[in-house]
Structure 1
Amino acid sequence: MKRLLSLAGAATALVLLSACGPSGRYQYDLPKDGYSQACVAQCRMQKQQCGYLDDSKRRLQEARMDAYHYCVAGKDKRQARKDCAYPGTYGGYGSYGGGYSAFSSCADDYDQCFTSCGGTIRWIPAPTQ
């Protein structure tokens, strides 16, 4: 009986969560002339490079966290604070830094670049059932 209730609860939660997300998609309409299309190609390259940079920063942050955990292993709190600097966000040291993601910023920058090149971005709502 408990398993049936937990399955029903999970199904209800899944239905409720699926209603929270956006129901639709964005459509990117390219500009017609060649110059503007070349401009959009540059935007794509910038977005790709931004994503590569974001991945590199994330890997660097993970490596710094691994080094920190290696440093504090087996030490008491006082000695760990003295010997091991806690890596902050974006490579800074000393401040407590959580996770980060510049990818959404990459997407926002791309959208701005795309529209400044003459492209249009339209929201297409999902069909209602």
Structure 2
Amino acid sequence: MFTKLRSWVLLLAFFALGACTEYAYIPPPGPEGQACVSQCRFDQQQCRAFADRDYQHCNASRNFAMAAYNRCVQSRGMGCVQPPSCINQSWRCSGEYDRCFRGCGGRIEEVQPRR
């Protein structure tokens, strides 16, 4: 039973890894294209820095609100609203970079992963 289950898990893991899409970034030719892509990279770094900063501020506010929530629960137990979780939005920066990269004349091509 265990061996059969392990075989299925390994088979599923193999297919999951095979399903991962990889991309090749082909930069635009010429110095203007290279300068444009450099600006895209800078903008992406800024985007990630702002997203990380916002996430840290959100967590600081959430910690304060969570302390108030815990006090509410201890004193009343009802009618207390738990603060929402924070989500780091830096994932959005990749899409913005891709649009910028293409706007500079670069190409992004899907590459079949090696097996």
Instruction: Please give the TM-score of this superposition, normalised by the length of structure 1.
Output: 0.69
- 1:57 partner amino acid: D
State how many pairs are aligned: 111
Structure 2 segments unaligned to the other structure (5+ residues): none
- Once superposed, what is the RMSD of the aligned Cα atoms? 2.6
Alignment counterpart, residue 16 of structure 2, candidates 7, 14, 20: 20
Q: In the TM superposition, what whole-angstrom CA distance separates every residue of 1:49-87 from its partner, at most 9, and x where no partner exists?
A: 111111111111211221122112233234745xxxx54
CA distance in 2, matches of 1:53, 1:67: 21
Task: Check if 1:43 corresponds to 2:40.
Answer: yes
The CA distance in 2 between the partners of 1:113 and 1:80, in whole Å, is 45
| Residues 54, 103 of structure 1: 8 Å contact kept | yes
- 1:20 to 1:30, Cα distance in 2 relative to 1, 3 A: same
**Percent of aligned positions with the same letter in both sequences?**
24
Q: CA deviation at 1:127?
A: 2.9
Comparing 43-52 with 71-80, greater Cα deviation is found at 71-80
What TM-score does the superposition give when structure 2 sets the normalisation length?
A: 0.76
Maintained 8 Å contact 2:59/2:86: no
- Whose RCO is larger (CA < 8 A, sep 6+)? 2
Task: Please list every run of 5 or more consecutive structure 1 residues that lacks an aligned counterpart in the other structure.
Answer: 88-96
